Structure 1
Amino acid sequence: MTDFQAFAVEQYLSETEHGVHYNFSESGVHPMSYAELFELANVDRDALFATLVDYPQVNGNQLLRERIAALYQRAHADNVLVTVGATEANTLVAATLLEPGDNVIRFSPTYEQLAGNAHNLGYEVRSVDMHSTQDWAIDAPGLAAAVDDRTRIIHIVNPNNPTGQVLSADDRELIVAAARGVGAWIVADEVYSGTERNTDEPTASFWGGYERVIAINSMSKAYGLPGLRLGWLLAPESLIPALWRRHEYASITATMMSMQLASAALEPSARDAITARARGLIRRGFETLQKELSYHKGVFSVVPPQASAMSFVKFDLPVDSDTFSARLLTEEDVLVIPGSRFGVEEHFRFSSALPEEHLRAGLQRMNELTGRILKSA
């Protein structure tokens, strides 16, 4: 039996996030209210409220799958399986693709959901570094050394969680070449596409660039709708039935209400309005974060994220990331995720795509704790 590996990031959130006042631990933009969603997506309330609270189409209703497919080049509804968040999609992929003797490649730091599933199913997980001193670029020799003829999945989160970096063209080519060389699948978690800071052009999907790609996304991050718990995977049509059969065991289906609201949110004009809201929060929030991080000179630094609501902040203090995060929580009612939960010390993950007044107040509290630590050193 393989020793069970807890999902370090989600365990930390489960144990700490409820009741905290200044929660900067989440990785998506500030969630919308139902009222805001109904307004931005022009939801027909009468039609919605007349809908029976019944089981929906198990693989996702036709309109929703068509709107999801329209986000990708040369995709159609039969390439789409609607899931309960991107987390279920990752779980289904691990259960469907992996066979005895296979290994999985992950990049560090990253969100561990798929890699953790693979480990807990008894498969080997190999880690390839991404270098902070090179804007979190992939260690090319490390990737070449890790991949072999038993590599079944190369898993990438792009834009990255926790760093917010978008893969360079060179790094994308490295991944595709490595996968093609051994016939591996690229499983691309693309939940932060649409959250770019410096452009309104969404990060390109891996879909369409290589024949063995599964693209995963959800309504949680770029759309500010995590409570819908609705995600999807896009895969070659021939693979969908095997994933669907496992979906019936895992959850049977997402909810009728989630599918209806996701369909409304992904209507093109509604989607434009919702992603514009997200980008506004992301861009303003990062400016505020940068300003407050400069309060104590030389203590904090960050490779500016190209996308996402979060930053992976490096700090120079005489405490480790667990201690700094614990003191923030107990002394200042501020929650961040320590870098240790991503296997990287002297960092913490911080989400800044939040209402301005709340963000500033929490950052001031972080600076107050930092001052006390510096004074006692």
Structure 2
Amino acid sequence: MSPFQPFVMERMMTKFEQEVDYNLSESGVHPLSLGELLGDDPEATAHLLATDLNYPHVNGIPELRQNISNLYDGAAPEDVLVTVGAIESNYLSIRTLLSPGDEIVIMSPNYMQIWGVAKNQGLSVKLFHLREEENWAPDLSELESVVGSDTKMIAICNPNNPTGRILTESEMDRIVTCADRVGAWILSDEVYRGATRVTDEENPSFFGRYHKVLAIGSMSKAYALPGLRIGWVVGPRGALDEISARREYSTLCATMLSNKLAALALSPEIRPRLLQRTREYIRKGYPILQEWVKNQGDLFSVSPPDAAAIAFVRSHMDINSTEFAERLRKEKSVLIVPGDYFGLDHFLRISFGLPPDYLIPGLERIHELTLEMSGQTVL
């Protein structure tokens, strides 16, 4: 076999997320049911039942691409390519636009798919960092120092996974200036856009700020529909055509039913309801996690996320994050993501966008393990 960098977080989740009692590793809120999506609309149900299970438009059915384009100022349906999840958008964007030896600069911490794809493609990888001591603000001076004439792409995650940090518009402008200075692409993973914790205002996209942007979106996070496996990339039409050509060797397209259901979910009538549901899960779940962290004494601390249903919790325990997560899974049947998987030990990514009767017992089992590790009796 050829050398290969596994995607260690997804490897873990593939193996164990369906096997544990409490899965606190997922980064979206509790998923929507089909009944919740359709509501009491017999016309929508009849429309779906009459659907021929044929191939859809390979780039996404027109209604879906129209509804996606409505989310981006200045976009048209022709600027949208529908993919099998955002993970395919990220993968194909890098495979299409970059060649072995090209340089990519990646925000860190980050969803490590892009880092792994870059390693497997033989790219030169540089990082710029979010700083915990500044509530995970990006170190843009570092970005400006590492971006140079060899940089072909800057990869962003906004809102950020795992910290939930949303870039300010001035920070976005400085990133665009960096990219424009050297003619680099901006790959902006925006799957948590709209899943805000403290405001109902959606953070802006990088699309429209610069002519070499690929903005990535998904039904999985803000809309709580990960089972549809629908994502998209919005960007220059020539680049989308090249990405689509490469996709014709693999998945070809998403399913017809997924296209139809995603178009329904993103319709002006239904989308606001789904976003509100997501925000309610986030806003009800975070105080539960925050109170739990407080009750653990000096074991953990956390910076409140701006968005997303995850918190990047600092562990002050004298144990490696992967070792702790493994013990938690094996001894307590709870799955969380160790900070090692984001390149930062002594952190734990914990989900909180879950029903309280699921979230609270899962957190309690983490508490049980910390007591047992300290030699205390679990009552």
Specify the TM-score bucket, using the shorter chain as the normaliser: over 0.9
Q: Which residue is equivalent to 2:171?
A: 171
What value does the CA root-mean-square deviation take over the aligned residues? 1.6
Q: Which runs of 5+ in 2 are unaligned?
A: none
Cα offsets for 1:86-118 (capped at 9, x unmatched): 011011101111135421110111002123212
CA distance in 2, matches of 1:71, 1:47: 24
Change in 2 beyond 3 A, CA 1:206/1:46? same
Q: Which residue is equivalent to 1:203?
A: 203
> Percent of counterpart pairs with the same letter?
43
Give the 5 Å matches for 1:1-377: 3-39=3-39, 44-375=44-375
Shift of 1:173: 2.3
CA distance in 1, matches of 2:170, 2:15: 39
Shift of 1:275: 0.6
CA distance in 1, matches of 2:353, 2:225: 14
Residue 125 of structure 2 aligns to a residue in which SS?
strand
Shift of 1:41: 8.0
Cα offsets for 1:65-91 (capped at 9, x unmatched): 000000110000000000000011011
Cα offsets for 1:299-343 (capped at 9, x unmatched): 111110000010000011121111211121122111101111111
| 2:28 maps to amino acid | G
Shift of 1:46: 1.2
Residue 187 of structure 2 aligns to a residue in which SS?
strand
Of 96-105 and 305-314, the range deviating more from structure 2: 96-105
CA distance in 2, matches of 1:89, 1:320: 33
CA distance in 1, matches of 2:40, 2:162: 29
After the TM superposition, which segments of 4 or more aligned residues of structure 1 sit over 6 Å from their partners? Answer: 40-43
CA contact (8 A) 1:317 1:374 kept: no
Residue 238 of structure 1 aligns to a residue in which SS?
helix
Question: What count of residue pairs does the alignment treat as equivalent?
Answer: 376
CA distance in 1, matches of 2:298, 2:244: 51
Shift of 1:144: 2.0
| 2:132 maps to amino acid | S
CA contact (8 A) 2:101 2:122 kept: no
CA contact (8 A) 2:112 2:341 kept: no
Shift of 1:142: 2.1
Change in 2 beyond 3 A, CA 1:23/1:306? same
Change in 2 beyond 3 A, CA 1:326/1:99? closer
Residue 155 of structure 1 aligns to a residue in which SS?
strand
TM-score by length of 1: 0.96
Change in 2 beyond 3 A, CA 1:166/1:239? same
